[in-house]
């Protein structure tokens, strides 16, 4: 039996029929076609599926979709486009913080949440904010640098 899920995704109200056991990551990808949110471990360990749920970063692989009822969700598709990338997206590319790219959306969403709350974080605060995200390609120096660069530019828009 399906249930009706009402939520706002990237500032658009959506209604979708979901299996009551569905996880948020699957609804975003399979029902809404938002493929930027990646599936990594399905255990809440890698952060590839990070989205903002009511402005807080969550591992969407661990959130039952029905827990998002009436909530606001922001995915990587909601912060920038190919033609008009968000400053974080641009700086990740410019600073070489992207290798295979699989983890990048999760890192950017975690960084976006941090910079929305704290526009000028310390390096330690940046490290803490991205501690739930794993990268097996780049290491973290360039990722932290891209986030710091965005902060120094005073842009999180």
Query: Is the domain of 63 the same as that of 16?
Result: yes
> What integer pLDDT is reported at residue 84 of this predicted model?
95
pTM: 0.94
Q: How far apart are CA 80 and CA 57, in angstroms?
A: 17
CA distance 113 to 56: 6
Q: What is the mean pLDDT of residues 26-47?
A: 97
Domain holding 130, by residue range, is 87-152
73 and 97 housed in the same domain: no
Say what the pLDDT of residue 156 is.
Answer: 57
Residues 72 and 91 in one domain: no
* Count of domains for the chain: 2
Task: Write the DSSP string, 17-35.
Answer: EE-TT-BHHHIIIIIT--T
What does the pLDDT look like over 70-106, one tens digit per residue? 999 999 999 999 999 999 999 999 999 999 999 999 9
pLDDT at 22: 98
Residue 154 pLDDT > 90: no
pLDDT at 138: 80
Domain's final residue, options 77, 99, 132 = 77
CATH code: domain of residue 17? 3.10.20.30
One domain for residues 112 and 134: yes
Mean pLDDT of 29-45: 97
Calculate mean pLDDT across residues 1-25.
97
Looking at the structure, tell me whether residues 69 and 8 fall in a common domain: yes
């Amino acid at each position: 039996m399906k249930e009706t899920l009402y939520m706002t995704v990237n500032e658009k109200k959506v209604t979708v029929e979901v299996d009551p056991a569905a996880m948020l990551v699957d609804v975003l990808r399979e029902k809404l076609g938002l493929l930027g949110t990646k599936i990594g471990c399905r255990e809440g360990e890698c952060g590839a599926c990070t989205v903002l749920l009511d402005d807080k970063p969550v591992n969407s692989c661990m959130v039952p979709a029905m827990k998002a009822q009436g909530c606001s969700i922001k995915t990587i598709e909601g912060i920038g486009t190919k033609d008009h990338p968000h400053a974080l997206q641009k700086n990740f590319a410019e600073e070489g913080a992207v290798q295979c790219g699989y983890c990048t959306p999760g890192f950017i969403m975690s960084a976006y949440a941090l910079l929305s709350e704290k526009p000028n974080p310390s390096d330690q605060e940046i490290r803490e904010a991205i501690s739930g995200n794993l990268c097996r390609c780049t290491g973290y120096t360039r990722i932290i640098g891209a986030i710091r660069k965005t902060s120094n530019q005073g842009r999180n828009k």
